[in-house]
Structure 1
Amino acid sequence: MNGIKNIITGVALLIAFGFNIASAQTTKVKGQITDSKNLSPLPFVNVFIPGTSIGTATDASGHFELQFDATRDSIRVAFMGYKTVDKRITRGTEQTINFRLESTSKTLNEIVVRKKKEKYRNKDNPAVELIRLVIDNRDKNRMTHYDYAQYNQYEKMEFALSNLSSKVQNGRFTKKYKFIFDNQDTTKMEGKSLLPVYLEEKLADVYYRKSPEKKRVIVTADKKVNFENYIDNQGLNAYMRHIYQDVDMYDNNMMLFTNQFLSPIANAGPTFYKYYIADTIATPDGQKLIELEFYPRSKTDLLLEGKMYITLDGNYAVQKADMTANKDINLNWVRDFHLYLDFEKTPDGRYFMNRSTMRADFGVFKGRSGIYGERVVSIKNMEINKPQPEDFYKGPSLVEEDEKLQKPDSFWANNRHDTLSTAESKVYSNIDSLQHMKSFKRTMEIATLLLAGYKSVGPFEVGPVNAFYSFNPVEGFRLRFGGRSTPKLNKSFYVETYAAYGFKDKQWKGYLGATYALNHKSIYEFPIRSITVSAQRETKIPGQELQFIQEDNFLLSFKRGNNDKWLYNDIYIAHYLNEYNNHFSFDAGFKHWTQTPAGELKYFKNTDPITSDGRNPIKTAEFSLELRWAPHEQFYQGKVYRIPIANKYPIFTLRGIAGVKGIAGSGYNYQNISLNIYKMAYLSQLGYSEIVLEGGYIFGKLPYPLLTVHRANQSYAYQLESYNLMNFLEFVSDRYASINIDHNFNGFIFNKIPLFKRLKFREVAAVKVLYGGLRPENNPNKDPSLIQFSKDNTTNVPVTYTLGQRPYIEGSIGIANIFKLLRVDLVRRFTYLDNPGVSKYGVRARFRFDF
């Protein structure tokens, strides 16, 4: 009897054990949820197992993944405005189940109609009361609330060509690239086919400390499509990140596409937004959320619209958000965009943003081909209040060791936070294959010639082509030919040279320079540590300072007024440049400079020339040191210039020069110190200002050509840091202070004027004020032994002056964004109008690419 009992007990135990094994089997379900009509992905859809607390929500692509141990055999999808759907699942297996939800349009239409009919007001509005609670609790729901935080971050940046026409795909010149055009994605954006052409993935460990505040990002892996043979990959990446900046909804202003958008949970949010409570939602774990919709009060302002989900657990935190912009705002090139934010609960019950997805469709005309861009930032393994050793935070803010960042495909398969789509997974190999095709190489070389002005010839580049021909009053017709080496010759060594000839002055000019990178990197690759030596004989207009363009550019041959006073410069330079990861740099150098009057410029003492023809040269030998700090600087390294990408952080440049008499014939001892501060100031809905503060002082007794010849502009191009109605050589100082403010209102006013709104014009205004002067020992009007100020050789009237008690002031108003590229200013000069040859008004133009 006992034996039978034991057998029955054993069988029962085996059955129970088997049941427990079965019940512990893991079920994994993944899939995508789309709209049944247009097949567009649906984000933030609730996906859960009925009768349990097991659930999740779809991401920005409508994808979900749910893994659990349970005996349930169905899965449910619920989303406001759509019918709830249940589907059967197979327990203990991994399966893919996709959903197409049917819209309940009647309910949604009723909500929209009610909003339009009701008079909106903040008073006694429960939605506004809720948003004020969110605003009051902002600080405790931010990562900066914690003393320490650390996490693993995955970032994916993608660009694709959208809606390429069949003519392009099947064209005569593109048929050979069919393997590229076959790799298109039709699932990401409604009604668009996307052809990925650029992809970058990055993994990093991020460490944050609150006090003193420090954030360290240690990049552990980086993988990207490489176009290094044709463009600056590092600079391109920096520009993409400038467009797709990190977004924090808890900031008052959010930077999107280089423009500031007021956050819907900003302190001033209730003043600029309308809020509506759309629904109360219960999550699978029993948590209640308020679905809050928000819309701009003025459809033309840089504001967002969309919905967010607010927790009711006392934190009043944002758990999810879906935002876009009204179609009426003045935004260039961006036809449509969506920003999706997801937040995750921390162990202490608060929320942190664990995923952000920005998707944008760029193009000129609606419905035509364009560019699709996407940036995904995902955060995992968040740990709070776990400090690192004190010395750890003394390290650089960004650590990228190139030789350690290249990882095999197996590493990415196991460590990336996202699964790449089929089209994304092929882009690396496809672009690599494309770059090995001779026809593509030829095409890119032609494009490089047209855009950058250089043509590759083996390990050298010939150019820039826009400087091959120019003309001016001194040289007349001028031809120039030159080139430079590329990393194909030597990665760390660079040489540049050119020769030019003026057919009027019948003189040769030229340049020869060489740079060696001491850190054995490319001389273009930040941070630079290099030595440069050069020799140059060239013409120059005193006081003309240009940015990002050659002085002998053909377009600069066209100038207003009289500009016949030039210099022949013979310059020998040696300098050492050292940049640091924190964007501090110093540049120490030596320069021997011989400047000889050219054209109608002559040097006189009293009324007599120094020599019979007034061409006596001035020789100087200078030691210099420049300290520059540009925190968080971003830039694009072009073929000739490094072009900064403006952000909210200031740039400080301190220069010191010491002239030493007696070195190779130099004739003067002096010291020159100057400070320049540049700042981009963002004013939210009122646009942004570019502000330049500058001052300088020169010690020593010097002839006026060695003093500060203030930057003048006699071209028809508007220049930010030059005085656009000042003539060349008009003002000279040995001490000065200036402020330039250039403000772009971003269409804040014009957006409210129907015609200007339709044309997407933007209003701009600027003011420039310069104070300066000369000490008596440097003023030729008070010391006849000095070289006298320049005069007009025909009328004998002075053309060079010193600033008195009054400052030089000019201002301008203008219209920007003409054809989305052109800015035209009407410039007004307010002081020193009695100086000969000056203009009270002028019209200046400038090309600029803005979003």
Structure 2
Amino acid sequence: MLYSCVHYSQTPKTENDAKQDSLSKRQFIRQLGNGFFPTKYINIDLKYLVKYNQYEGLRTGLGGVTNNRFSEKYRINSYVVYGFRDHRFKYKIGGSFRVNESTNTWINLAYIDDLQETGSSTFLTDKRFFSFFEPRLLNIDLFHKHITKVISIEHKFSENLLSEFEFATSKIEPTYDYTFNVDDMSFRTFDITSAKLSLQWNPFNSNEVNKKGVATAKEGYPKFTLQMSKSFKNDITGDFNFFKTDFRAVHRFIHNEQSYTETIVKTGFATGKTPLTHLYHAYPNNITKETILQRFSVAGINSFETMYFNEFFSDRFAILQLKHFIKPFKISERYRPQLVLISRMAIGGMQNIERHQNVEFGTLSKGYSEAGFEINRLISAFGLSFAYRYGGYHLPSLADNIAAKFTFNVSF
């Protein structure tokens, strides 16, 4: 038997090769920071791997979106997850095709069978931004099931103005005991047909051109997001007429390289016959337990740490949050904890509160206030958070007004 031996010689890496490797590593880390693990044809969406909440318990699954190597004109965006406490699969089957490259205009189609937090109000354009860890999810227990068919159009008016328009029909079923009384009828489940328009304007972002097109080189402030939603009553897929407007403004006052003050203003307004599922909570993040230690959990990023889950709902509200990031303490080159001073305020109200049966909650008409601080990165990405509830909704027991939690901050 004859064997053939071939000897390979390895060419030393040039300076350009080293630059390419460094660029590839940066792109890989950037993808992780955006919430995706890139593979050859599919970018695996990390947000579906492991989550936990009070209704599903452990929620795990797999999802992803095809990348440009698969196709530059078409993409598939789907997921499947399983909740170990409710013993139920949830999934999304979605696809998109691009109709204009210069304006990055895409038409998206999707069929979704999943859960949504009651009272949550998300902006369509936010799905393009990723949070590695979402602490509030751990303690949420009020969800509604929805089966949604949706068509949407993404369009970039300019490098600093993104938009998305969505038309959807949904079958809604609360997972808790709830009845919506309106027009002399009682609804335990209902259908919603709605249209949404979302605009994300970042007027002071600076951009750079690279091989993959235009990318954000530096984030500027302020940033503005506006969303308008309209539901349509009809004989087949719509039980109610209502209208919603949501607005958010984020600004940073830069004091120096490592110290700044962040201000977030958010408002929401719903008018018409709006069920609780589509109204507003105020981002609570406190569980109903007797002692401070029993309530010890993970602090959110922009949530009210002393406000108990399901304590308040509104059909109109306004929130102001102030966060002052003090220059990190240089204990050593690697150990630099940072103190953040926080103040949050919310006000709101609700008309026709008697429509919402079997669920007890209050309104924010007296104004809600809390103040506190975080010490971040005490041990690796972990830190501590303390908050105190005062003002119109101060509770009789001192301990019930205090929230102590740990923080988790990851940056790429």
TM-score normalised to structure 1 length? 0.40
Q: Distance in 1 between matches of 2:338 and 2:224?
A: 29
Q: How much does 1:564 deviate?
A: 3.4
Structure-2 residue corresponding to 1:576: 153
Q: How much does 1:689 deviate?
A: 1.0
Provide, for residues 153-201 of structure 1, a one-character-per-residue CA deviation record: whole Å limited to 9, x for no partner.
xxxxxxxxxxxxxxxxxxxxxx997712xx57xxxxxxxxxx98337xx
Q: What does 1:618-697 align with in structure 2 at a 5 Å threshold?
A: 618-633=190-205, 647-662=219-234, 664-684=236-256, 687-697=259-269
The answer to whether 1:846 aligns with 2:408 is: yes
Q: How much does 1:838 deviate?
A: 5.9
| Amino acid in structure 1 at the alignment position of 2:196 | S
| Amino acid in structure 2 at the alignment position of 1:498 | Y
- 1:559 aligned counterpart, secondary structure: helix
Structure-2 residue corresponding to 1:460: 42
Structure-2 residue corresponding to 1:394: none
- 2:71 aligned counterpart, secondary structure: coil
Q: Identity of aligned pairs, percent?
A: 17
The answer to whether 1:827 aligns with 2:387 is: yes
| Amino acid in structure 1 at the alignment position of 2:204 | H
- 2:357 aligned counterpart, secondary structure: coil
Q: How much does 1:722 deviate?
A: 2.4
Q: Distance in 2 between matches of 1:496 and 1:618?
A: 27
Q: How much does 1:568 deviate?
A: 1.1
Q: Contact 1:592/1:621 (CA < 8 Å) preserved in 2?
A: yes
The answer to whether 1:559 aligns with 2:138 is: yes
Do the aligned partners of residues 734 and 685 (structure 1) sit closer, same or farther apart at CA in structure 2, a change above 3 Å counting? same
Match of 2:173 among 581, 589, 596: 596
Q: Distance in 2 between matches of 1:727 and 1:177?
A: 63
Q: Distance in 2 between matches of 1:630 and 1:528?
A: 17
Q: How much does 1:594 deviate?
A: 2.5
Provide, for residues 543-591 of structure 1, a one-character-per-residue CA deviation record: whole Å limited to 9, x for no partner.
457875589x8x869835xx43322122222111211334123322212
Q: Contact 1:823/1:845 (CA < 8 Å) preserved in 2?
A: yes
Q: What does 1:169-568 align with in structure 2 at a 5 Å threshold?
A: 179-180=12-13, 183=14, 197-198=18-19, 227=24, 232=27, 454=37, 456=39, 459-461=41-43, 463-464=44-45, 467-520=48-101, 528-543=104-119, 559=138, 563-568=140-145
Structure-1 residue corresponding to 2:275: 703
Q: Distance in 2 between matches of 1:596 and 1:679?
A: 38
Structure-2 residue corresponding to 1:585: 162
Q: Distance in 2 between matches of 1:741 and 1:450?
A: 25
Q: Distance in 1 between matches of 2:32 and 2:161?
A: 33
| Amino acid in structure 2 at the alignment position of 1:761 | P
| Amino acid in structure 2 at the alignment position of 1:486 | N
Q: Distance in 1 between matches of 2:344 and 2:334?
A: 31
Q: Distance in 2 between matches of 1:833 and 1:530?
A: 48
Do the aligned partners of residues 686 and 470 (structure 1) sit closer, same or farther apart at CA in structure 2, a change above 3 Å counting? closer
Structure-2 residue corresponding to 1:787: 356
Q: How much does 1:476 deviate?
A: 4.3
Q: Distance in 2 between matches of 1:705 and 1:582?
A: 34
| Amino acid in structure 2 at the alignment position of 1:733 | S
Q: Distance in 1 between matches of 2:50 and 2:333?
A: 41
Q: Distance in 2 between matches of 1:577 and 1:558?
A: 27
Q: Distance in 2 between matches of 1:661 and 1:705?
A: 17
- 2:308 aligned counterpart, secondary structure: coil
Structure-1 residue corresponding to 2:363: 802
Do the aligned partners of residues 477 and 631 (structure 1) sit closer, same or farther apart at CA in structure 2, a change above 3 Å counting? closer
Do the aligned partners of residues 486 and 787 (structure 1) sit closer, same or farther apart at CA in structure 2, a change above 3 Å counting? same
Q: Distance in 2 between matches of 1:514 and 1:530?
A: 10
Structure-2 residue corresponding to 1:391: none
- 1:198 aligned counterpart, secondary structure: helix
| Amino acid in structure 1 at the alignment position of 2:41 | P
Q: How much does 1:536 deviate?
A: 0.6
| Amino acid in structure 2 at the alignment position of 1:497 | S
Q: Contact 2:250/2:265 (CA < 8 Å) preserved in 1?
A: yes
Do the aligned partners of residues 660 and 516 (structure 1) sit closer, same or farther apart at CA in structure 2, a change above 3 Å counting? same
| Amino acid in structure 2 at the alignment position of 1:675 | F
Q: Distance in 2 between matches of 1:488 and 1:842?
A: 47
The answer to whether 1:766 aligns with 2:342 is: yes
Q: Contact 1:694/1:738 (CA < 8 Å) preserved in 2?
A: yes
The structure whose residues are more often helix, as a share, is 1
- 1:725 aligned counterpart, secondary structure: strand
- 2:138 aligned counterpart, secondary structure: coil
Q: How much does 1:484 deviate?
A: 2.9
Q: Distance in 2 between matches of 1:675 and 1:820?
A: 35
| Amino acid in structure 2 at the alignment position of 1:801 | G
Q: Contact 2:382/2:406 (CA < 8 Å) preserved in 1?
A: no
Select the structure of larger CA radius of gyration. 1
Q: Distance in 2 between matches of 1:509 and 1:758?
A: 42
Match of 1:815 among 339, 351, 375: 375
Do the aligned partners of residues 501 and 821 (structure 1) sit closer, same or farther apart at CA in structure 2, a change above 3 Å counting? closer
Q: Distance in 2 between matches of 1:767 and 1:635?
A: 32
Q: Distance in 2 between matches of 1:838 and 1:569?
A: 34
Q: Distance in 2 between matches of 1:177 and 1:812?
A: 59
Do the aligned partners of residues 593 and 647 (structure 1) sit closer, same or farther apart at CA in structure 2, a change above 3 Å counting? same
Q: How much does 1:826 deviate?
A: 1.4
Do the aligned partners of residues 572 and 656 (structure 1) sit closer, same or farther apart at CA in structure 2, a change above 3 Å counting? same
Q: How much does 1:649 deviate?
A: 2.2
Q: How much does 1:225 deviate?
A: 8.3
Structure-2 residue corresponding to 1:382: none
Q: How much does 1:537 deviate?
A: 0.8
Q: How much does 1:647 deviate?
A: 3.8
The structure whose residues are more often strand, as a share, is 2
- 1:801 aligned counterpart, secondary structure: coil
Q: How much does 1:767 deviate?
A: 0.7
Q: Which runs of 5+ in 2 are unaligned?
A: 1-7, 209-214, 288-296
Match of 1:741 among 318, 322, 325: 322
| Amino acid in structure 1 at the alignment position of 2:223 | I
Q: Distance in 2 between matches of 1:501 and 1:572?
A: 20
Q: Distance in 1 between matches of 2:9 and 2:136?
A: 43
Q: Contact 1:726/1:838 (CA < 8 Å) preserved in 2?
A: no
Alpha-carbon RMSD across the aligned residues, in angstroms, is: 4.1
Do the aligned partners of residues 809 and 788 (structure 1) sit closer, same or farther apart at CA in structure 2, a change above 3 Å counting? same
Q: Contact 1:541/1:567 (CA < 8 Å) preserved in 2?
A: yes
Q: Distance in 1 between matches of 2:136 and 2:401?
A: 20
Q: Which has the higher contact order (CA 8 A, sep 6+)?
A: 2
Q: Distance in 1 between matches of 2:374 and 2:32?
A: 33
Q: How much does 1:469 deviate?
A: 4.6
| Amino acid in structure 2 at the alignment position of 1:846 | F
| Amino acid in structure 2 at the alignment position of 1:602 | D
Provide, for residues 199-245 of structure 1, a one-character-per-residue CA deviation record: whole Å limited to 9, x for no partner.
7xxxxxxxxxxxxxxxxxxxxxxxx9864xx8759x96xxxxxxxxx
Q: How much does 1:821 deviate?
A: 4.5
Do the aligned partners of residues 833 and 480 (structure 1) sit closer, same or farther apart at CA in structure 2, a change above 3 Å counting? same
Q: Distance in 2 between matches of 1:771 and 1:689?
A: 22
Q: Distance in 2 between matches of 1:499 and 1:686?
A: 41
| Amino acid in structure 1 at the alignment position of 2:19 | Y
